[in-house]
Amino acid sequence: MRFLLGLLFFVAASQAGAQLSIEITGPGVQRTPIAVVPFAGEGTVGTSLTAIVRADLERSGLFRGLEVPPLAPHPNENSPVNYGEWRSRLADALVVGSVAQNPDGRFEVRFRLYDIVKQAPLGAIAYLFTKDNARAAAHRIADFVYEKLTGEKGVFSTQIAYVVKRGNTYELQIADADGERAQYLLRSNEPIISPVWSPEGRRIAYVSFESKKPIVYVHHLSENKRQVVASFKGSNSAPAWSPDGKTIAVVLSVEGGSQIYLINADGSGPRRRISNSASIDTEPRYSTDGKWIYFTSDRGGSPQIYRMSAIGGEPQRITFKGSYNVSPRPSPDGRILAYVTRDGGKFQVALLDLSNQQVQVITDSDRDESPSFAPNGRMILLATVRGGRGVLSAVSSDGRIRQNLPYSGGDVREPAWGPFIE
């Protein structure tokens, strides 16, 4: 096991400069109107919590934030709610709350959520946070509201990773799911591809070409260190974490060709080969239950998606339609497979319903790559090209909500959506 503490990288070292912003496009859905009343006293935080909560909810494509006029008296979480009045303002839901500073300098936010249509309180909660973590607190509030109103967990507190190319400089960055608070983990003069989050969200595996060949590293986010985990003769690429975070599937050419192997995530022990073909076998991904590995293979003459038992075994073919189906990504609930399909020169993200084999192309761009499910399965982050520039985009898994994530600082690619953080 080797730890490399090079000059190339800094963990949590500096803000990454230009940031992602998000625009919603696409046909959309019926959006629930919600009134997020500015919290009493939130001006003392220096960051408008409720503006972030509203932006989060709107970005999901499922909510429309209502303009709230100045109210007197200004309501907080303890005020009685006049359901009729909020109904007349066309609100289906209401968030009210307040912020107070504790003697230790930390802030405490308390808020309450109401269903205006059913005239019922949906819950209340309080969070304690420092000024530096105001955005994180707002994302927690948005997650609470989202989960109460939709029944599924919110992803506003999660992070994303992606690679920015600026001239001949490559940066592996992580940011909040809204594109804010970006920072870089690794800056290099050689390409970086295929970042993947470990299941607990504290490590990222990726492929770096800094040694003039692809080598797989694991970066420990909070410990300011990274580690070579696969540096065999030939190419080392396409890392994928097992759901327990102990094993990484990688693609090695050490025995010729591109074949799938398992290695220990700490780089210890021998490699174990699990694919056995004279063809290309690459892009492994574990199913959420850890039983299967989906992968891309050209054993049938064209690249198609297959799956095999996660300990190896006879593969079965999964995709049949089209002559180029790559980059399999099983959904968190295991029911859907996202992948990239080529049709008439266009590369687009398709979803395969694994229960009935229905295929649906869900993007309208033509150079899509690297789809990545949000941990709740609702959205898929992907890389595409607009106006000659690499950009990130997101699409809901029903195809109805699309978001562009414009970035001013270079070409953005290789997105990876991180897991839920408790």
Partner 1 sequence: MRAIIIVTALLLAAGCQTTPEDQAAAGVEDRSKPGAGKPGAQVQPVERPKVAAVDLTAGRVDPASALKDPASILSKRSIYYDYDKFDVRDEYRGLVEAHAKYLRENPKARMLIQGNTDERGSREYNVSLGQRRSDGVKRMLILLGAREDQIESVSLGEEKPQADGQNEGSWSKNRRSDVLYSGEY
Which helix (H) or strand (E) element contains residue 372? strand 369-373
Site for partner 1 in 272-301 (CB under 8 A): 280, 282-283, 296
> Minimum CB separation from partner 1 for residue 143, in Å?
32
Rg (CA), the chain: 23
Total interface residues for partner 1 by CB under 8 A: 32
Q: Smallest gap, in angstroms, from Cβ of residue 100 to partner 1?
A: 50
Residue located via tokens 């050419």:
253
Kindly tell me which of 145 and 352 has the beta carbon lying closer to partner 1: 352
The only residue of 238, 249, 352, 416 in contact with partner 1, by rule CB under 8 A: 238
Least distance (Å) between residue 307 CB and partner 1: 16
Q: Quote the Cα angle for 136-285-184, to 5°.
A: 40
Closest CB 413 distance from partner 1, rounded Å: 8
Q: Cα(121)–Cα(119) distance, rounded to whole angstroms?
A: 7
- Asked whether position 149 contacts partner 1 by CB under 8 A, the answer is no
What angle do the packed helices 134-150 and 49-59 form, to 10 degrees? Answer: 50
Query: Is residue 264 a contact residue for partner 1 (CB under 8 A)?
Result: no
Name the burial class of residue 35, with classes exposed (0-12), middle (13-18) and buried (19+) by CB atoms within 10 angstroms of its CB.
Answer: buried
Q: How far is the CB of 243 from partner 1 (least distance, A)?
A: 20
- 414 scored as a contact of partner 1 (CB under 8 A): yes
Q: What is the DSSP secondary structure assignment for residue 374, as one 8-state letter?
A: -
237 touches partner 1 by CB under 8 A: yes
Q: How far is CA 99 from CA 49, 78, 92, 135, in A?
A: 9, 12, 24, 14
If one counts every other C-beta atom within 10 angstroms of the C-beta of residue 222, the result is 9
Taking the C-alpha atoms of residue 131 and residue 160, their distance in angstroms, rounded to an integer, is 22
Residues from 344 through 403 that contact partner 1 (CB under 8 A): 347, 369-370
Please report whether residue 191 would count as binding partner 1 according to CB under 8 A.
yes
CA nearest neighbour of 173 among 329, 60, 283, 10: 10
Which residue number, 83 or 209, has a Cβ lying nearer to partner 1?
209
How far apart are CB 83 and partner 1 at their closest, in Å? 53
234 forms part of the interface with partner 1 (CB under 8 A): yes
Residue 154 tokens, joined: 């919110």
125, 271, 324, 400: residue in contact with partner 1 (rule CB under 8 A): 324
Structure tokens at 382: 């992907």
Contacts with partner 1, residue ranges (CB under 8 A) = 191, 193-194, 207, 209, 212-214, 233-235, 237-238, 251, 253, 256-258, 280, 282-283, 296, 303, 324, 326-327, 340, 342, 347, 369-370, 414
